[in-house]
Structure 1
Amino acid sequence: MIAFLGMGLLGENFTRALLKKGNQVQVWNRTFSKAAALEPLGAKAFAGVADAVRGADVVHLTLKDDEAVDEVLAAAFPGLAAGTVLIDHTTTSVPGAIERTRVWKEHGFTYLHAPVFMGPQNALDSTGTMMVSGDQDVIARQEPALSGMTGKVLNFGPETGRAAAIKLLGNSFLVTFTAGIADMLSLAKALQVPLSDVSTLFDTWNPGALLPARLKRLTSGVYTQPSWTLNMARKDTGLFMEAARQGGIPLAVIPSIAIEMDKWIGKGHGGDDWTVIAKDAVS
């Protein structure tokens, strides 16, 4: 028996996928109607968390944050059978994941943090990426079932909390990436470039393909053989900001990057490759 706590976009579709595969699933959500909506598909909905986990061998959680996970698990505790496996897909802090692993082990339960890089459609289709780390015996026992929920399970080794850290790294990239796109679109607006032309550019040019090589260059520690000097990158960054200023369009990310560039130019790195701005992060 599986219990699933949290019927948000991911939790609901994870549950739908599990039901399609013939699993018995008991569900709970703060707003009961969201859990009850899955009963026509075969789920059994409960208004109380302890009731939802009663009889379950494995409990999955997709909640908001550390506080929500701790609160819901505390409420579930009276209904948990000894040895129940708790698998938490919530994006949480690293200390939170470490502490819950320790505390629930002391209570006689297995807690495994398994965050994901998946959208709702991935959860429904059982595709995407799930991360785990920690006790390798626990992971070995749970990995077959977890692999069935996602396209790939990445095991980051025996350090508890490492999966939580990897999830935060990935999300930080997504936040920065999206904010950078927003700045680019703001610049397009300031320069009166239509969105159709922006789309034409990226239909042909895929900068995402540069990511592995750019990461390698950033982390190489070698910045003295520039393909684009920091001085030239800073010059272009100034052009971005001036065009935006003249167009009356604010930029969110670029000005902060300009400050970082100026810092490294002030240290004498203007003639180095512009990726030198990552030097402190990787040294």
Structure 2
Amino acid sequence: MANSLAAQHISVIGLGAMGTALAKALLAGGHQVVVWNRTTSRAEALAAQGARVAESAAEAMSAADLVILCVLDDAAVREQIEPAAALLRGRTVVNLTTTTPEQARSLGRWAAANEVELIDGGIMASPEMIGGPASLVIYSGAAVAFDRHRSVLELFGRAEFVGTDLGAAAMYDVSILGAMYAMFAAFRQGATMVRSTGGTAAHLAALTVPFLQAIATSLTDQAVGIDTPADYAQIQSDEFTAAAIDLIDKAAVESGTPTDLYGALRRTLTGG
């Protein structure tokens, strides 16, 4: 918990489930928090915990040195901050709204033109995880501002700075989520196949989870092969991988549940 002597004035714009969790973590850290949300009723619980509810987003922004946005999308971010450019000059804005890398860079160009320090962030956690040991938030952009506010940002979870390219955090974000969704898709397909034999998705999950937890450590070795291929001795050849995926794909067809998934995996992993 932050020392009250180091308390900062921080505004949170957007009080969906995630924005609310962020505001609660700041209040628990001893900070002076001003909140704003389009639907005022969402701020009532935070007000009971000590937050000040602003009448407008502009009022919230002008009351804080550090402004945190967690809204629906890039358009919603622009809607709130562009009219407040003069108010934000000289302040630090942390955008924790999910956007694409280029949207983050575009916002960075706007921020630079308006003398606003911008940090972009990707939250790798669900709202209930915020502030806990499993919460990770990835940041990029204004490095000096990140270092200055790091103790605040660490209230949300582990704070990982990945570079000054404002699109970097979003790229890490979507890449991690892509791996997650690929796993979900493969499990859903596998469960459909297993059920064709009388099995259940629940049994498949019980068998798959420990296997994937063990095999996930191999990502570290694969990273070497991607970053510095000359230093990597490939354990499994592309030919072997292609043959294995072809066999899985054939089993999907035999089960009456053909899919395009395995063809995409084959092309991604082997280039063919």
Q: Same fold (TM over 0.5)?
A: yes
> Quick one: distance in 2 between partners of 1:260 and 1:51?
50
CA pair 49-229 structure 1, distance change in 2 beyond 3 A? closer
Measure how far apart 1:121 and its partner are: 1.6
Q: Spell out, residue by residue over 1:47-90, the C-alpha distance to the aligned partner (whole angstroms, 9 max, x if none).
A: 42112222211110112221111112124446x25311100111
Provide the C-alpha distance between the structure 1 equivalents of 2:261 and 2:204, rounded to a whole number of angstroms: 24
Change (3 A) 1:202 1:8: same
> Which residue in 1 is equivalent to 2:174?
168
Aligned position for 1:235: 247
> Relative to 1, partners in 2 of residues 1:19 and 1:196: Cα closer, same or farther, differing over 3 Å?
same
Tell me the secondary structure at the aligned position of residue 154 of structure 2.
helix
- Gaps (5+ residues) in structure 1? 265-276
Query: What is residue 156 of structure 2 aligned with on the other side?
Result: 149
Partner of 2:221: 216
1:201 corresponds in structure 2 to 207
TM-score by length of structure 2 reads 0.82
Distance 1:198 1:59 in 2: 45
Inter-CA distance 97–8: structure 2 relative to 1 (3 Å threshold): same
State, as a whole percentage, how many aligned pairs show the same letter: 21
Distance change >3 Å, CA 226–CA 113, structure 1 → 2: closer
**How many residues are treated as equivalent by the alignment?**
257
Q: Find the counterpart in structure 1 of residue 74 from structure 2.
A: 66
- Does structure 1 residue 134 correspond to structure 2 residue 125? no
Say whether 1:50 aligns with 2:58. yes
Quick one: structure 1 residues 259 and 174, their matched pair in 2 at CA, closer, same or farther if it must change by over 3 Å? Answer: closer
The reply to whether residue 181 of structure 1 matches residue 187 of structure 2 is yes
In structure 2, how many angstroms separate the alpha carbons of the residues matched to 1:176 and 1:240? 17
Which of 36, 40, 46 is the equivalent residue of 1:28? 36
- Sort the Cα spacing of 1:84 and 1:239 in 2 relative to 1 into closer, same or farther, 3 A: same
Deviation string 1:142-176 (CA, Å, 9 cap, x unpaired) is 223212321x2222123232111111111111221
- CA distance in 1: counterparts of 2:206 and 2:236, whole angstroms: 34
Q: SS of 1:111's equivalent?
A: strand
| Unmatched tracts of structure 2, length 5 or more | 1-8
Residue deviations 1:227-252 (CA, integer Å, cap 9, x gap): 94422431222112321x1xxxx56x
| Residue pair 2:12, 2:23 contacting (<8 A) in 1 also | yes
Judging changes above 3 Å, is the alpha-carbon distance between structure 1 residues 183 and 215 closer, same or farther for their aligned structure 2 residues?
farther
In 1, Cα distance between equivalents of 2:169 and 2:54: 30
Change (3 A) 1:190 1:216: same
2:116 pairs with 1:109: yes
